[in-house]
Amino acid sequence: MVRSVFVLTILFFTASRVVAADVDGKAVYAKHCTNCHGEDGHGQTPAGKALKTVSLVDPQWATPDALPKIEGAVRDGVPRMPAMKAKLSPEEIAAVARYVQQLAGVKP
């Protein structure tokens, strides 16, 4: 019995990682982020300029420790940017954060 529960737990976590890997971060970004950050991440849209949006192509977003910061900003919001946790699943948040890192120069 304990072994069955252990195996099912491992399968659940493995399956959830596969689902997260299947989320298209670029598509999530296109739907929810381009209005302010622009397709290229520079933030030079009318809304982005009005809100003084940060550039997502800045190398600071490409560092390994930036990924949890990006995920937190998307999930919980930051000044002038709403929280997206009510609109995006945790897998979508993770995927869009990885895509933001690609805009900043991280190779997929």
Grouping H, G, I as helix, E, B as strand and the rest as coil, residue 50 is: helix
Q: What is the CB-side half-sphere exposure of residue 22 using CA atoms within 13 A?
A: 6
pLDDT at 108: 82
Domain regions of the chain by residue span? 24-103
Cα distance between residue 91 and residue 87, in whole Å:
12
**Which residues are within 8 A (CB) of 71 and not within 5 positions of it... i.e. 6 or more apart?**
93, 94, 97
pLDDT at 44: 96
* Cβ atoms 30, 39 nearer than 8 A: yes
Q: What is the pLDDT of residues 36-95, one digit of tens each?
A: 999 999 999 999 999 999 999 999 999 999 999 999 999 999 999 999 999 999 999 999
pTM tops 0.85, yes or no: no
pLDDT at 15: 45
* Cβ atoms 74, 64 nearer than 8 A: no
Domain 24-103 class in CATH: mainly alpha
Q: What is the pLDDT of residues 1-33, one digit of tens each?
A: 555 545 445 544 444 444 456 999 999 999 999
Cα distance between residue 6 and residue 14, in whole Å:
12
